[in-house]
């Protein structure tokens, strides 16, 4: 599934702190935002909106960085970019690279090799501060929807921040130069330029969140307005201070300021408690935490005795704000790694242990890594050129280690693919589905311990044949066999990725000259009129466009189709109820059965609560019972195809459950073959071994008979 606030991809990170003296309310905001994020990741059900901590951090960054840049521009007439960037690097990179390096070592030691490539690519993207764009691309990539979260997934927010730190000074400098060139007052000009950029980013964020929320969540351009809100606050504060130099009166009366401060803090808490993963974000919803953060900063520390001053100034709150950056860095890797080490999901006490350990690691990192590099003089680190040199070396070292891990994983996958091809080309007795075929039990001791493809290559073992991955339209380019041979039955496979998983047997039959095959398949898009279950409008609209195009193609090519085979995921979160789902399939099928074209609907395969390959990767010995799922747990979701075939004359249900499951369990390994590519898709290798049995089932119902043409 696409990665959104509901998925583990929704992680956040804090910005750098302001130089001393510190503002207690900003430290308190940091502490609260960091705790929102950490507690959300540890107990997402208790704090479903904790992901909005990112908005608090972005506003703070915009406020502090712009305050610094504007003051420097006002006093010197310029912005020293090299010095600014070097200071940011000394502040942020040592701790960030320490956690990335530690995470890379942990991946080598504990993470199964099937997940190396993803983890190392994301660690490398994080070291280069482009992680948010990698996750944005994955968020709209159906093939990446079931990726497990990586140890570096949380660095996406740090990537957004670093990109802000690079681009924002250039924007301020451009505004300063514009003011000098046009002989305008500097501060109003900078304010006007920042306001235009902020409004443009907010408008884009509003639009893109509505059109493509998965991509919008990670985009720098949809988040820039949050920095801009803090930046505008900084600039307006400077302008106000220029106009009020002789006055020491507070901006608001103390009781009003106290009320505003409490309101801002309570809104942030309310966002954490009541926003959910289904809330379109950032968009309009992000205004709540952004404006609440602005309100708390505006009023500062109200003098009223009813203000939240006592809460803000408590030692724990201020200390947590002080270590918020390393706290964020360290909290996520153990959440990903500890279940791998333990071999099961995290319980309450392991989560508490992670929380305590994270605070300890954060305190040590600040004491022995952050502060010494930020303020130290050794090795000339305070010189910008030296800082940049160390940065380049650190990034290169992490990238080189990650590339080594990726190449090692690819080499292992290559070897596994070669072994799979060799075994499948001369299949031993009882190989794959043959061991589940009707008749006398088939048992071959030579298959004991065999696993093809093994877990290092399983992600490659898919049915994504060239030309068969439809994007926004349906075509007839995904074909196999001799279309001109009138003696061959013409088969069309149509539907979502579960229909695509059915292709290997039909491709095999076509290559052997027994059928002509065409395919119209699109991941996540069923052949029905059912509403798309994804909240992302862009993904849903893409599916509807594909459906319209398929309908046009079918109307033009119906006379050349003998039988239609379709499949669909029995969705865990459908957009409608069972009856409506059935009606959606039935309505679509009748457009073809009414023209005399039979429809074969394949009952969905077992759905795994967890990826069996991660379980298999932990096994010291592979047996036929390794990581098997009890049959009564293998079909947790309603499958509307079963009922639809009862309602549509001319449709047939093809139930392959007996090739996946025994009476009591659904094995992960059948006849030496790795059955599941991920939680819900059958591997290409196993599906290929089902070729003779699927052909036999269709033949016995006279469904592979060519019509006269």
pLDDT per residue over 184-217, tens digit each? 999 999 999 999 999 999 999 999 998 888 899 9
Position 336 in a domain: yes
Mean pLDDT score of the chain: 91
Burial class (CB in 10 A: 0-12, 13-18, 19+), 446: exposed
How many angstroms separate the CA atoms of 2 and 145, rounded? 5
Pair (52, 125) in one structural domain = yes
In this prediction, residues 576-600 reach a mean pLDDT of 96
Burial class (CB in 10 A: 0-12, 13-18, 19+), 620: exposed
Position 217 in a domain: yes
Pair of tokens at residue 649: 């004359």
Q: Indicate whether 21 pLDDT > 60.
A: no
Last residue of a domain, one of 357, 385, 406: 406
Q: 83-94: string of b/e by CB count within 10 Å (b at 16+)?
A: ebbbbbbbbbbb
In this prediction, residues 16-32 reach a mean pLDDT of 77
Position 414 in a domain: no
How many angstroms separate the CA atoms of 170 and 168, rounded? 5
Pair (503, 401) in one structural domain = no
Position 280 in a domain: yes
Q: What is the rounded radius of gyration, in angstroms, for the C-alpha atoms of the chain? A: 29
Q: How far is CA 664 from CA 369, 600, 657, 668, in A?
A: 55, 27, 12, 13
Pair (572, 644) in one structural domain = yes
Q: Indicate whether 534 pLDDT > 90.
A: no
Pair (396, 493) in one structural domain = no
Pair (155, 272) in one structural domain = yes
Q: Indicate whether 54 pLDDT > 50.
A: yes
How many angstroms separate the CA atoms of 496 and 501, rounded? 9
Pair (227, 296) in one structural domain = yes
| Nearest one of 89, 229, 97, 79 to 162, comparing CA atoms | 89
How many angstroms separate the CA atoms of 303 and 402, rounded? 53
pLDDT confidence bin for 378, thresholds 50/70/90: confident
| Nearest one of 90, 18, 88, 87 to 57, comparing CA atoms | 18
Pair (182, 309) in one structural domain = yes
Tokens 């190392």 correspond to: 120
Last residue of a domain, one of 406, 426, 444: 406
Q: How much of the chain exceeds pLDDT 90, in percent?
A: 79
Q: How much of the chain exceeds pLDDT 70, in percent?
A: 93
SS3 452: strand
Q: Indicate whether 141 pLDDT > 90.
A: no
pLDDT confidence bin for 709, thresholds 50/70/90: low
Pair (237, 329) in one structural domain = yes
| Parallel/antiparallel/unpaired status of strands 599-602 and 563-567 | parallel
Position 533 in a domain: yes
pLDDT digit string, tens, across residues 162-184: 999 999 999 999 999 999 899 99
E strand intervals along 435-575: 479-480, 490-495, 516-521, 563-567
Position 374 in a domain: yes
pLDDT digit string, tens, across residues 467-520: 886 654 444 468 999 998 889 999 999 999 999 999 999 999 999 999 999 999
Pair (376, 511) in one structural domain = no
Assess contact for 281 and 10: CB atoms under 8 A.
Answer: no
Full-prediction pTM beyond 0.85? yes
Q: What is the CATH number of the domain that holds 641?
A: 3.40.50.1110
Give the total number of structural domains in the chain. Answer: 2
pLDDT value at position 246?
45
Q: Provide the domain limits for residue 66.
A: 24-242+250-406
Pair (475, 337) in one structural domain = no
Position 182 in a domain: yes
Q: Interior CA angle at 198 toward 197 and 201, to 5°?
A: 85
Tokens 């605070």 correspond to: 359
Last residue of a domain, one of 406, 423, 439: 406
Position 139 in a domain: yes
């Amino acid at each position: 599934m696409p990665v959104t606030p509901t998925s583990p991809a929704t992680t956040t990170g804090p910005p750098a702190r302001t130089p001393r003296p510190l503002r207690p309310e900003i430290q308190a905001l940091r502490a609260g935002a960091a705790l929102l994020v950490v507690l959300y990741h540890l107990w997402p059900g208790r704090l479903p909106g904790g992901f909005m901590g990112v908005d608090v951090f972005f506003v703070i960054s915009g406020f502090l960085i712009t305050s610094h840049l504007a003051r420097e521009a006002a006093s010197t007439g310029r912005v020293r970019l090299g010095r600014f960037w070097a200071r940011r690097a000394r502040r942020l990179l040592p701790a960030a690279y320490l956690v990335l390096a530690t995470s890379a070592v942990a991946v080598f030691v504990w993470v199964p090799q099937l997940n190396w490539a993803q983890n190392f690519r994301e660690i490398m993207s994080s070291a280069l501060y482009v992680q948010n764009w990698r996750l944005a691309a994955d968020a709209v990539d159906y093939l990446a929807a079931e990726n497990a979260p990586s140890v570096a997934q949380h660095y996406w927010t740090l990537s957004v921040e670093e990109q802000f730190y690079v681009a924002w000074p250039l924007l301020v400098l451009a505004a300063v130069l514009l003011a000098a060139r046009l002989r305008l007052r500097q501060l109003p000009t900078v304010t006007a330029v920042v306001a235009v950029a902020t409004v443009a980013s907010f408008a884009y964020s509003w639009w893109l969140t509505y059109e493509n929320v998965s991509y919008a969540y990670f985009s720098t351009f949809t988040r820039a307005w949050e920095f801009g809100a803090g930046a505008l606050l900084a600039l307006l504060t400077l302008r106000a201070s220029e106009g009020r130099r002789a006055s020491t009166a507070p901006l608001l009366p103390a009781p009003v300021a106290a009320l505003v401060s409490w309101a801002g803090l309570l809104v942030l808490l309310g966002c954490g408690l009541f926003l959910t993963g289904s809330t379109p974000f950032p968009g309009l919803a992000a205004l709540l935490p952004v404006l609440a953060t602005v309100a708390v900063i505006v009023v500062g520390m109200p003098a009223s005795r009813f203000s939240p001053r006592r809460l803000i100034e408590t030692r724990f709150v201020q200390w947590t704000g002080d270590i918020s950056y390393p706290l964020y860095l360290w909290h996520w890797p153990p959440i990903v790694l500890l279940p791998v080490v333990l071999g099961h999901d995290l319980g309450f006490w392991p989560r508490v242990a992670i929380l305590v350990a994270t605070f300890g690691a954060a305190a040590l990192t600040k004491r022995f890594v952050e502060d010494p590099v930020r303020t130290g003089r050794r090795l000339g680190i305070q010189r910008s050129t030296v800082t940049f040199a160390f940065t380049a070396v650190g990034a290169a070292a992490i990238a080189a280690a990650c590339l080594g891990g990726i190449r090692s994983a690819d080499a292992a996958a290559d070897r596994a693919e070669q072994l799979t091809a060799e075994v499948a080309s001369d299949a031993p007795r009882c190989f794959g589905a043959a061991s589940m075929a009707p008749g006398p039990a088939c048992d071959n001791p030579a298959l004991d311990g065999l696993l093809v493809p093994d877990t290092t290559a399983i992600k490659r073992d898919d049915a994504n044949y060239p030309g068969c991955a439809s994007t926004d339209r349906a075509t007839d380019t995904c074909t196999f066999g001799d279309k001109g041979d009138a003696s061959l039955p013409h088969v069309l496979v149509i539907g979502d990725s579960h229909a695509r998983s059915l292709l290997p047997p039909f491709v095999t039959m076509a290559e052997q000259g027994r059928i002509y095959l065409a395919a119209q398949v699109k991941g996540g898009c069923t052949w029905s009129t059912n509403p798309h279950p994804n909240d992302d409008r862009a993904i849903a609209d893409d599916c509807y466009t594909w459906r319209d195009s398929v309908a046009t193609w079918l109307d033009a090519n119906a006379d050349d189709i003998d039988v239609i085979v379709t499949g669909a995921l029995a969705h865990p979160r459908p957009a409608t109820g069972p009856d409506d789902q059935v009606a959606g399939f039935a309505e679509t099928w009748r457009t073809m059965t009414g023209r005399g074209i039979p429809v074969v609907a394949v009952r969905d395969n077992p759905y795994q609560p967890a990826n069996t390959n991660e379980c298999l990767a932990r096994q010291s010995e592979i047996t036929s019972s390794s990581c098997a799922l009890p049959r009564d747990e293998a079909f947790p979701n309603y499958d509307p195809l079963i009922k639809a075939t009862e309602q549509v004359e001319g449709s047939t249900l093809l139930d392959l459950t007996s090739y996946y499951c025994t009476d009591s369990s659904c094995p992960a390994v059948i006849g030496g073959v790795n059955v599941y590519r991920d939680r819900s898709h059958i591997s290409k290798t196993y599906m290929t071994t089902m070729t003779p049995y699927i052909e036999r089932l269709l033949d016995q119902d006279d469904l592979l008979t060519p019509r006269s043409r």
